[in-house]
Amino acid sequence: MATIELRQVEKKFGDLHAVKPMDLTVHDGEFMVLLGPSGCGKTTTLRMISGLEAVTGGQILIDGRDVTWAHPSDRDIALVFQFFALYPHLSAWQNIAFPLQAEGESRVNIEKRVSEVARMLGIKHLLHLRPKALSGGDKQRVGLARALVRRPAAFLMDEPIGALDADARETMRAEIKQFHLTQNATTVYVTHDQIEAMALGDRIVVMSMGVVQQVGTPAEVYYDPANLFVARFIGSPGMNLVTGGYADGVVHLPGSNPYPVPPAWNTALQREMGSEGDVIVGFRPEAGRVTGTGPLVAEVYATELHGAYTVLHLSLNGTVVHIRADRGIDYPIGTAVRFDLDPEIVRFFDPQTEAALRLPFDGAQDKAQEPALRRAQDTALTGGSTNG
Ligand SMILES: Nc1ncnc2c1ncn2[C@@H]1O[C@H](COP(=O)(O)OP(=O)(O)OP(=O)(O)O)[C@@H](O)[C@H]1O
Ligand SMILES: [Mg+2]
């Protein structure tokens, strides 16, 4: 068990600033996910924690001990990568037992731990087979078992299930979560898949171009994205983001759509932007509510039945938004639909800085906004630095 602390850790490859100075604390037993698009610096960050990559600046502490220049083998961590190379001439059991034998573990303990991890990953019946007799997914499980069988202070995983097909990924995602819940080992897990990040993470570090955009729980990055990048990257589809002119408590959205700003947010908008100016209104598809009387009106552009619900694509004079509606709903293209936004989960962004506006912390706002306020505050405290 361990805490991992990054203090102003950065990495340059020549002219390329792959990871800009980054602060991060991973708590003991926490499952922390590094999430972001290809090339944003996830693997580089993980490799610096492991010691496989030297830092260009900053400090790395594991359990308070400065390991910035310690050898990877002196950090008591286990690395799990996307591609596991199994020893072809050894059985699955021997492959999994290998790291324990190398550590000089007793035969009894090896039997016990291999059996435990094999049960957890559902491969007990395959232990006598050699790799060439295993399916791709089962090879991956054996590889994962070989990494998980150790009891290091922390696990570092780089897209460990990225190469599997969708079904196998979903199953193994649950197995990894199950393993974490039973072992409670500090874990840093890299993925570019936001659904995987939301499903697994206690907290998520959202990165873009070497910069930490936000650190927060899945609910925080989903409902209170720190900026437009996070709002777009998290969710499928991402958050609807519509620019409008703000004046006197109303945002004028495209297509003659005056949207009255919820009272708690109006104070924040006035404080940030004075009496008027452009603002971006952000809302998740489920924040839209089709009602006969909502303040907004848009034209149906497309409808998609996703089984449990329908996604309505609505055009506000050419700006298309997605709204999740009842699965029974099926409007002809071109129908005018009235809708409202759930005031609890609507958000506002500054078009210049791309940062989310925050509710004022003076306690004067509507009681109903308190959970959102607390979330925003936590996010601010955990240091969600924004893109400059
Ligand atoms: N050894 C290296 N030498 C030079 N540039 C590198 C090296 N390793 C990584 N980079 C560059 O650093 C940036 C960050 O790379 P990194 O592998 O950390 O990204 P990533 O977030 O893991 O992306 P992916 O999702 O594609 O794995 C990229 O622009 C990459 O090309
Ligand atoms: Mg990578």
- pLDDT by residue for the chain (388 residues), tens only, comes to 699 999 999 999 999 999 999 999 999 999 999 999 999 999 999 999 999 999 999 999 999 999 999 999 899 898 887 667 899 999 999 999 999 999 899 999 999 999 999 988 889 999 999 999 998 888 888 988 998 898 888 999 999 888 778 888 888 888 888 888 888 899 999 999 999 999 999 999 999 999 999 999 999 999 999 999 999 999 988 999 999 999 989 999 999 999 999 998 998 898 888 778 999 999 999 999 998 888 999 999 999 998 999 999 999 999 999 999 998 888 999 999 999 999 999 999 999 999 999 986 644 444 444 444 444 444 444 433 333 3
Q: What pairs with residue 158 in β-bridges?
A: 190
Calpha distance 240→343 (Å, rounded): 14
What is the DSSP track for 254-298?
A: TTTEEEEPPHHHHHHHHHHHTTEEEEEEEE-GGGEEE-SS-SEEE
Q: What pairs with residue 298 in β-bridges?
A: 337
Question: In testing the pocket of ligand 1, which one of 12, 43, 50 has its CB within 8 Å of the most ligand atoms?
Answer: 43
Nearest residue (by CA) to ligand 1, atom 20, is: 39
186 CA distance to ligand 1 centroid (A)? 24
- Cβ of 13 closer than 6 Å to ligand 1, yes or no, is yes
Nearest residue (by CA) to ligand 1, atom 6, is: 13
- Cβ of 192 closer than 6 Å to ligand 1, yes or no, is yes
Q: Which domains are seen in the chain, by residue range? A: 4-228 (3.40.50.300), 238-361 (2.40.50.140)
For the CA of 81, the nearest ligand: 2
CA 34 to ligand 1: nearest atom: 21
Nearest residue (by CA) to ligand 1, atom 4, is: 13
Q: Which two tokens stand for residue 292?
A: 């006969």
pTM for the predicted model, two decimal places: 0.88
